[in-house]
């Protein structure tokens, strides 16, 4: 489970409240590690109980004021331990690929339209990533931290480029496919009155 490490990373970049963290997950970290508002708040409570983060003292006590958190040395040490440890790549699990495999045996109804919808979604995500790259990583912005963050963004761009190319190929393939009939489908049995009687 890497959510606590994503939160520690975000808090080391900038001490934040739970609400601010949720917004940052929506805008940046969430592109590659998503989390709900409830998950973030639950994890903040655990990290605080474990002594990895602490609530920052409020500048002026006020009712309903948002709690902001910062990372303690134990949290930084845990993040460094996790970052330096070996991690195996996760096997690919993609519903669309499984659905295509299933379509080969039950028929392709509805699949082509959803391929087109997925293509549109990936094209939009790719355009968004490319806009972030233009905005946040202009030529000459090449400090070590910038280069590592840009590397993460490049992974997103390359992945979306792969999916848009593959989906465009899949849509073109569907245009040439004859209708795929369900494999091994049997016509429904019909009871014929008197059949089988001597």
79-132: per-residue pLDDT in tens?
999 999 999 988 888 999 999 999 988 988 899 999 999 999 999 999 999 999
Whole-angstrom distance, CA of residue 192 vs CA of residue 196:
9
Could you give the 3-state DSSP secondary structure of residue 111? helix
Q: What pTM does this model have?
A: 0.77
Work out whether strand 16-17 and strand 53-55 pair parallel, antiparallel, or are unpaired.
unpaired
Give the angle subtended at the CA of 177 by the CAs of 171 and 178, to the nearest 5°.
Answer: 145
Please write the tens of the pLDDT for every residue from 1-52: 589 999 999 999 999 999 999 998 888 887 888 888 999 999 999 999 999 9
Q: How many CB atoms are located within 10 Å of the residue 168 CB?
A: 15
């Amino acid at each position: 489970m890497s959510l606590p490490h994503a939160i520690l990373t975000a808090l080391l970049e900038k001490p934040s409240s739970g609400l601010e963290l949720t917004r940052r997950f929506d805008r940046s970290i969430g592109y590659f590690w998503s989390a709900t508002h409830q998950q973030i708040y639950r994890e903040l409570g655990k990290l605080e109980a474990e002594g990895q983060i602490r609530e920052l003292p409020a500048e002026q006590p006020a009712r309903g004021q948002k709690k902001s958190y910062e990372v303690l040395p134990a949290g930084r040490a845990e993040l460094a331990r996790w970052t330096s440890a070996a991690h195996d790549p996760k096997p690919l699990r993609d519903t669309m690929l499984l659905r295509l495999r299933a379509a080969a045996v039950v028929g392709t109804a509805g699949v082509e339209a959803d391929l087109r919808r997925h293509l549109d979604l990936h094209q939009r995500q790719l355009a968004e990533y490319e806009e972030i790259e233009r905005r946040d990583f202009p030529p000459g912005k090449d400090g070590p931290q910038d280069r590592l963050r840009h590397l993460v963004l490049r992974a997103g761009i390359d992945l979306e480029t792969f999916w848009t190319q593959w989906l465009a190929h899949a849509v073109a393939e569907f245009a040439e496919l004859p209708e795929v009939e369900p494999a091994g489908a049997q016509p429904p049995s019909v009871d014929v009155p008197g059949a089988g009687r001597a």
